[in-house]
Chains A and B, each alone.
Chain A
Amino acid sequence: MPRVVVDVVPKPEILDPQGQAIVRALPRLGVRGVRDVRQGKHFELDVDDDVDADTLHRIAGELLANPVIEDWTVRRL
């Protein structure tokens, strides 16, 4: 059964306070050099062979992501 990955991240113009909190926490790990973090969501879908690309983009754009605030990518593994 094919596996499909959908990744969802906040649009660049949307303030991501959770990502910023992660950036601020990194120096406490002794890590330097990370300028920005955007926190998103990762979905793994097991789908039947006949689920086409249009349907996958519908799933992503109408439910998994909110197009007002988020961008998404769909990948077949």
Chain B
Amino acid sequence: MSTVRIGVITFPGTLDDIDAARAVRYAGAEPVSLWHADDDLRGVDAVIVPGGFSYGDYLRAGAIAAHQPVLRAVRGAASRGLPVLGICNGFQILCEAGLLPGALVRNAGLHFVCRDQRLRVETSATAWTGRYAAGAEIVVPLKSIEGRYVADSATLAMLEGDGRVVFRYLGVNPNGAVNDIAGIASADGRVVGLMPHPEHAIEVLTGPSSDGLDVFRSAVDAVLGSGGQLLGRRIPSKMW
């Protein structure tokens, strides 16, 4: 069985690429460094857009990164089903790039929030959550000031109705996100974005839990074809 290769993108100002690559290794896959100026993805099987402050959050968080060559390549590959995960600034970038609907704006309380956050995994039908049972509760770090997810009411109804809300804040809503939304998926369940940081919770020595590791193991499963059914790929009901 060949090793699954997962790309990790670095922009100027990216912070969490090293931890994302480490999480990929812990999940049994090979991390492949991708650079913002790359216009191809080196044949990787999946891509992580990690957290940080790409381009200093100039203009809007993620706005400049969304127009870089590597993101054009990601957009093309995602349309062909490549699993893509955006974490924190990576989630903001995927929204700015139009790969996920809605936007992330300034926290309602105006404070930078840094805490170990309880989340509920709402669905296992994505390329990044197949290892979790729907409804599972996990604890991973959250650290952001532009973390409040917003979308118009039609988009929200679509996300909720189609089971595309992937992670929801539990206990407290740390930033005023609509419907307590911490993470969402694309219509086909291959592209996922979330504000909290599963890559910082892959072992108890360095994180509050190891709850985040299954995000990366799930992607390995999805690449190897051993994951479960994804959103939009449900087996149609039998015709008699």
Residue of A nearest to B111 (CB): A17
In Å, the complex CA distance between A10 and B102 comes to 14
Closest CB in chain B relative to A37 CB, distance in Å: 14
Interface centre among A10, A68, A69 (most CB of B within 10 A): A68
Q: Per a CB cutoff under 8 Å, which of A13, A17, A66, A68 touches B108?
A: A17
List of A residues within 8 angstroms of B176 by Cβ: 15
State the main secondary structure of chain B at its contact with A: loop
Q: A14 interface residue, CB < 8 Å from B?
A: yes
In Å, the complex CA distance between A51 and B110 comes to 38
List of B residues within 8 angstroms of A63 by Cβ: 59, 63, 67
Q: Per a CB cutoff under 8 Å, which of A13, A18, A68 touches B102?
A: A68
Contact with A along B104-118 (1 / 0, CB 8 A): 011111100000000
Contact with B along A37-70 (1 / 0, CB 8 A): 0000000000000000000000000011010110
The answer on a CB contact under 8 Å between B103 and A69 is yes
The answer on a CB contact under 8 Å between A64 and B150 is no
The answer on a CB contact under 8 Å between B63 and A66 is yes
Residues of B within 8 Å of A, CB-based: how many? 20
In Å, the complex CA distance between A64 and B95 comes to 15
Contact size range, A: 10 to 19
Given the known inter-chain contacts A63-B59, A66-B60, A69-B103, please indicate yes or no for A14 contacting B110, CB distance below 8 A. no
The answer on a CB contact under 8 Å between A14 and B150 is yes
The answer on a CB contact under 8 Å between A69 and B67 is no
Q: Per a CB cutoff under 8 Å, which of B103, B106, B107, B110 touches A68?
A: B103
In Å, the complex CA distance between A14 and B176 comes to 12
Q: A21 interface residue, CB < 8 Å from B?
A: yes
Residue of A nearest to B102 (CB): A68
List of B residues within 8 angstroms of A21 by Cβ: 110
The answer on a CB contact under 8 Å between B96 and A66 is yes
Residue of A nearest to B155 (CB): A68
Which residue numbers of B lie inside 8 Å of A, CB to CB? 59-60, 63, 67, 95-96, 101-103, 105-110, 148, 150-152, 176
| 17 A-B pairs with C-beta separation under 8 A | A10-B105, A13-B152, A14-B105, A15-B108, A15-B148, A15-B176, A17-B108, A17-B109, A17-B110, A66-B60, A66-B96, A66-B103, A68-B102, A68-B103, A68-B151, A68-B152, A69-B150
